[in-house]
Chains A and B, each alone.
Chain A
Amino acid sequence: MVETFDNLMLGFSIALQPQILVYAFAGCIIGTLVGMMPGLGPLAGISILLPATFGLNPIIAIVLLAGVYYGAMYGGSTTSILMRIPGEAASVMTCVDGYEMTKNGRAGPALAIAAIGSFIAGTFGVIGLMLLAPTLAGWALRFGPPEYTALLMMGLFILAYMSGGSMLKTLAMAGFGLALGMIGIDAMSGYTRFSMGIVELGDGVGIVPVAVGLFGISEILITAGQAAGEKVQKPKLRDLIPSREEFRLSAGPIGRGSLLGFLIGIIPGSAHIISSFVSYGIERRLARDPERFGKGAIEGVAGPESANNAAASGAFVPMMALGVPTSPVTAVMIAAIMVHGISPGPLLMSQQPELFWGFVASMYVGNVVLLILNLPMVGLFVNLLRIPYSYLYPGILCFCILGTYSVANSLIDVWIMLIMGGVGYVLRKFRYDLAPVALGLVLAPMLELSLRQSLAMSAGDYGIFLERPIATTMLVLGLVLFLLAIRPLIFKGKDWRSTVGLEEQQN
């Protein structure tokens, strides 16, 4: 403990050097800007800046990149809340209730709670990283394909809690999303599936163009037709600050989101994407009045936003403690330090203490910087809503095209975004929820691959899921959750249709 404290002091003595502080600031600001661009998320942000860090010293490089990463996570929520455009996969769930809050004139509190939740979760994550990295890293490694399969199955069961409308429609949309996820090269057999001869589709349909299309573009298509256009909002200062009630409601979700996000974030791979979905499902399940979800419930912003930020810090645990690039983001970070001749590996922490502790301390600093940066900006961002819609939506469209294109310099992504915009528009007309599509798309390739990897490991024996404790526990837990969710369908007999919600047609 004393040692940790000494090390942390060493870290702060590095992170608070004016030169490094400047870079942390710059990283946070650039990250926030990049994150606000529709389609451009943390990965795009740090990829863009990677070459620029080659000339810097390794500590500055990693502090800068971490700042960009964090900033982009914060920035992503802004466009989700104000314009229903998810800047990255993790803020898809924020779109749902965040944007509804904006429509109710509560954009300010939504942004403020998102920033505060992110701050708390981020700080929690850093503390976890600092105290538990070596312990947890070993645990993280135990996540092989079977555990992964179980985790993803659990994510799938969470779907049942995700939407307020008809459960049949939710499941149908999840199926649609999962089916979309089947497009691309099958990693186990090499077959290129459903690609219609387009080479770019070999990697599958990206979540970013689909999310931007389904949520952002479809919203523009629906709104732009309203004759008078959306009425311009004139937020007063009083409306910017969350009410006591909103603070009270957010406390629980932020706490749960932080813990959950951190735990999911540690797991190697891209599982951290599902942390915000899982958090949303849990908050909806725990809420006293789940009907408010989807109509501007502050818990639906607080939970997922905290979860995705905590997951972002959690993802650094295996990277720092083991030196393995477990996700695309950490792969870029590792590349950034490799260029400086530091070989990633389990010895990183003991051989390069100033790098590790400087990094940890700069994450504390970055969190504070982002909170200071973001809270006053809430007023500024909310003022964006004052722009007349007829000027606003062409700009949003151009940004969507720009952002989606520049992720992979691929026009195909732009086309996917436009097509999904049209699809989302039609589906919303028929009252389908779109969030399950995004979750299905994220889950499908990971779930299929890990299931078949598990079977390849065991030569076709399903027993592999029962002889590994972590996997078994998660499967049982997921099954219980699922049974709880569908219990009303089975036990209520005749009137289950009303629970399923098909007859629910309120406006």
Chain B
Amino acid sequence: MKTRLFFAASILALAAFAAPAQETYPSRSITMIVPFPPGGVADLTGRPIAAAMEKVLKQPIAPVNRSGAGGKVGYAAAANSKPDGYTILIALSSVSIFPEVDAIFNLKPAYTLDQLVPIALVSADPTILVVHPSLPAKTAKDFIALAKKQPNEIAFSSSGLYGTLHIAMEMVVQSAGVKLRHVPFAGGGPAITALLGGHVMALSSGPAAAVGHLRSGKLRALASWGDKRLAAMPDLPTWKELGYKNVEFYIWAGLLAPKGTPDEAIKALRNAARTAVGDAEFKRVMTKLETPVNYLDAPEFQKFWDRDAERLVRTVKRVGKVVTAK
């Protein structure tokens, strides 16, 4: 028995001696938390940028998928991780929504926004309104008129209650003063499948996921949530042009770090991100994904994020709790 314990102890002791000495940042591999499963927008943006940043930092960046609860698990994990510069996060716009939803349900927030600091914005893509071809509305104006004529008759799908695709649609609902029927699904994939099958009539979707179906005529695009028109769809009007000033929504992906990360590390990461977005390989992958790169350095990203979060939080607050009869 004693020999065995001694044996175990000696292994532990050996391990303890292997501790590395402190060096300049980064001296070992960096973990990038991806709060969504592989193949999602965060994953597809995170991996190429990680690969490009590795070249600058000369240390591996390992993307780790910590998916769950619509991204909340990964966001909370990153916000509460050790701020030593060796954990970073690739976040989507939904990062701003969860603390507000927790507040609506009187839950202790899993994290708060001030626990995270920006490094760089990588991409920002407005969503577009796509409808089933059987819907009589040919333009966004028709759509609103139809919704006004038949309140609570047009059903739309979303990626989930309080999910990004729901909040985007909700902005239109609130701004135009119409009523639509909300059918939430578990994720963007099922939401678009339901639209293709005609089980719902409308969806606010990411352009990349919809573009194939638009080309084949299985879906029709009516409007975009952007500030200006999409380069790939110049004929598509924005909600702003149509007079809905408050309707602006982006699916963005940005790099964040937990608050308290040393300045030296933030500087190195910002620098790496700036070089990485110019990387040819990274550009090639992003073009193929039909996701335009939209780089902003930390200070501008912070401003962009603040404005975006303010819009989202306002919308979520107005949605509030979905009323069910007790």
Of B43, B186, B189, B321, the contact of A325 (CB 8 Å cutoff):
B189
**With A and B bound together, what is the CA distance between A261 and B131 in angstroms?**
32
Give the chain B neighbours of A142 by CB distance below 8 A: 197
Whether B43 contacts A335 by the Cβ 8 Å rule is: yes
**With A and B bound together, what is the CA distance between A449 and B290 in angstroms?**
32
Give the chain A neighbours of B43 by CB distance below 8 A: 50, 335
Of B38, B110, B162, B321, the contact of A47 (CB 8 Å cutoff):
B38
Q: How would residues 447 to 471 of chain A score, 1 for a CB under 8 Å from any chain B CB and 0 otherwise?
A: 0010001001101000000000000
Q: Smallest CB–CB gap between B135 and chain A, Å?
A: 15
Of A191, A199, A336, the contact of B110 (CB 8 Å cutoff):
A199
Q: Smallest CB–CB gap between B51 and chain A, Å?
A: 8
Q: Smallest CB–CB gap between A89 and chain B, Å?
A: 16
Give the chain A neighbours of B38 by CB distance below 8 A: 47, 50-51, 332, 335
Residue A341 interfacial (CB < 8 Å): yes
**With A and B bound together, what is the CA distance between A446 and B139 in angstroms?**
35
**With A and B bound together, what is the CA distance between A335 and B40 in angstroms?**
7
Of A50, A184, A192, A324, the contact of B193 (CB 8 Å cutoff):
A324
Residue A410 interfacial (CB < 8 Å): yes
Whether A345 contacts B190 by the Cβ 8 Å rule is: no
B217 (CB) vs chain A CBs: closest residue:
A346
In this complex, the member of B39, B69, B190 whose beta carbon has the largest number of chain A beta carbons within 10 angstroms is B39
**With A and B bound together, what is the CA distance between A328 and B70 in angstroms?**
14
Q: How would residues 160 to 175 of chain B score, 1 for a CB under 8 Å from any chain A CB and 0 otherwise?
A: 1110000000000000
In this complex, the member of A190, A192, A202, A334 whose beta carbon has the largest number of chain B beta carbons within 10 angstroms is A190
Q: Smallest CB–CB gap between A338 and chain B, Å?
A: 6
Of B72, B194, B199, B285, the contact of A202 (CB 8 Å cutoff):
B72
Residue B326 interfacial (CB < 8 Å): no
Whether B324 contacts A322 by the Cβ 8 Å rule is: no
Whether B197 contacts A456 by the Cβ 8 Å rule is: no
Chain A stretch 255-285: residues in CB contact (< 8 A) with chain B = 268-269
- With known contacts A190-B101, A456-B182, A322–B196 Cβ distance under 8 A: yes
Q: Smallest CB–CB gap between A184 and chain B, Å?
A: 8
Of A54, A328, A332, A345, the contact of B216 (CB 8 Å cutoff):
A345
Residue B294 interfacial (CB < 8 Å): no
Whether B66 contacts A339 by the Cβ 8 Å rule is: no
Q: How would residues 385 to 412 of chain A score, 1 for a CB under 8 Å from any chain B CB and 0 otherwise?
A: 0000000000000000000000011100
Give the chain B neighbours of A268 by CB distance below 8 A: 190, 193
Give the chain A neighbours of B200 by CB distance below 8 A: 457
Whether B107 contacts A345 by the Cβ 8 Å rule is: no
Whether B68 contacts A340 by the Cβ 8 Å rule is: no
- With known contacts A268-B190, A334-B39, A144–B208 Cβ distance under 8 A: no
Residue A505 interfacial (CB < 8 Å): no
Residue B140 interfacial (CB < 8 Å): no
Whether A51 contacts B47 by the Cβ 8 Å rule is: yes
Residue B4 interfacial (CB < 8 Å): no
Q: Smallest CB–CB gap between A17 and chain B, Å?
A: 23
Residue B65 interfacial (CB < 8 Å): yes
B50 (CB) vs chain A CBs: closest residue:
A51
Of B63, B186, B196, the contact of A141 (CB 8 Å cutoff):
B196
Give the chain A neighbours of B155 by CB distance below 8 A: 456-457
- With known contacts A190-B105, A408-B65, A326–B215 Cβ distance under 8 A: no
Residue A188 interfacial (CB < 8 Å): yes
- With known contacts A199-B72, A199-B110, A187–B193 Cβ distance under 8 A: no
Whether A339 contacts B288 by the Cβ 8 Å rule is: yes
Whether A187 contacts B39 by the Cβ 8 Å rule is: no
Whether B69 contacts A145 by the Cβ 8 Å rule is: no
Q: Smallest CB–CB gap between B165 and chain A, Å?
A: 13
B101 (CB) vs chain A CBs: closest residue:
A190
Whether A339 contacts B185 by the Cβ 8 Å rule is: no
Whether B199 contacts A145 by the Cβ 8 Å rule is: yes
Residue B276 interfacial (CB < 8 Å): no
Q: How would residues 187 to 214 of chain B score, 1 for a CB under 8 Å from any chain A CB and 0 otherwise?
A: 0011011101111100000001001110
Residue A419 interfacial (CB < 8 Å): no
Q: Smallest CB–CB gap between B249 and chain A, Å?
A: 19
Residue B73 interfacial (CB < 8 Å): yes
Give the chain B neighbours of A197 by CB distance below 8 A: 108
Residue B229 interfacial (CB < 8 Å): no
In this complex, the member of A197, A202, A324 whose beta carbon has the largest number of chain B beta carbons within 10 angstroms is A324
Whether B72 contacts A410 by the Cβ 8 Å rule is: no
Residue A481 interfacial (CB < 8 Å): no
Residue B44 interfacial (CB < 8 Å): yes
- With known contacts A54-B47, A408-B66, A453-B183, A141–B212 Cβ distance under 8 A: no
Residue A75 interfacial (CB < 8 Å): no
- With known contacts A190-B105, A200-B68, A268-B193, A331–B39 Cβ distance under 8 A: yes
**With A and B bound together, what is the CA distance between A116 and B200 in angstroms?**
42
Residue B247 interfacial (CB < 8 Å): no
Residue B22 interfacial (CB < 8 Å): no
Whether B69 contacts A144 by the Cβ 8 Å rule is: no
Of A191, A328, A334, A346, the contact of B213 (CB 8 Å cutoff):
A346
Give the chain A neighbours of B285 by CB distance below 8 A: 54, 339
Give the chain A neighbours of B198 by CB distance below 8 A: 141, 144
Whether A47 contacts B183 by the Cβ 8 Å rule is: no
**With A and B bound together, what is the CA distance between A200 and B70 in angstroms?**
10
Of B68, B72, B73, B212, the contact of A323 (CB 8 Å cutoff):
B212
Whether B212 contacts A191 by the Cβ 8 Å rule is: no
Residue B322 interfacial (CB < 8 Å): yes
Residue B53 interfacial (CB < 8 Å): no
Give the chain B neighbours of A51 by CB distance below 8 A: 38, 47, 63
Give the chain B neighbours of A341 by CB distance below 8 A: 287-289
Q: Smallest CB–CB gap between B233 and chain A, Å?
A: 14
- With known contacts A144-B194, A188-B184, A190-B161, A345–B211 Cβ distance under 8 A: yes
B211 (CB) vs chain A CBs: closest residue:
A343
Chain B stretch 278-304: residues in CB contact (< 8 A) with chain A = 285, 287-290
Q: Smallest CB–CB gap between A201 and chain B, Å?
A: 8
Chain B stretch 248-295: residues in CB contact (< 8 A) with chain A = 285, 287-290
Whether B212 contacts A348 by the Cβ 8 Å rule is: yes
Q: Smallest CB–CB gap between B200 and chain A, Å?
A: 7
Give the chain B neighbours of A484 by CB distance below 8 A: none
- With known contacts A187-B160, A332-B39, A453–B184 Cβ distance under 8 A: yes
Whether A343 contacts B322 by the Cβ 8 Å rule is: no
Of B70, B215, B321, the contact of A347 (CB 8 Å cutoff):
B215
- With known contacts A324-B196, A408-B66, A188–B161 Cβ distance under 8 A: yes
Q: Smallest CB–CB gap between A469 and chain B, Å?
A: 15
Whether B72 contacts A347 by the Cβ 8 Å rule is: no
A336 (CB) vs chain B CBs: closest residue:
B39
Residue A19 interfacial (CB < 8 Å): no
Whether B212 contacts A344 by the Cβ 8 Å rule is: yes
Give the chain B neighbours of A334 by CB distance below 8 A: 39
Q: Smallest CB–CB gap between B217 and chain A, Å?
A: 9
Residue B37 interfacial (CB < 8 Å): yes
A-B contact pairs, 8 of them (CB 8 A): A190-B322, A268-B190, A324-B193, A332-B39, A343-B208, A343-B211, A345-B213, A456-B181
User: Can you add 6 more A-B contacts, CB < 8 Å, to A187-B184, A197-B108, A457-B183?
Assistant: A143-B197, A144-B198, A324-B192, A338-B208, A343-B212, A348-B212
Which residues of A approach B to under 8 Å, CB–CB? 47, 50-51, 54, 141-145, 184-185, 187-192, 197, 199-200, 202-203, 268-269, 318, 322-326, 328, 331-332, 334-336, 338-341, 343-348, 408-410, 449, 453, 456-457, 459
Top 3 nearest A-B pairs (CB, nearest first) are: A345-B212, A202-B69, A335-B39
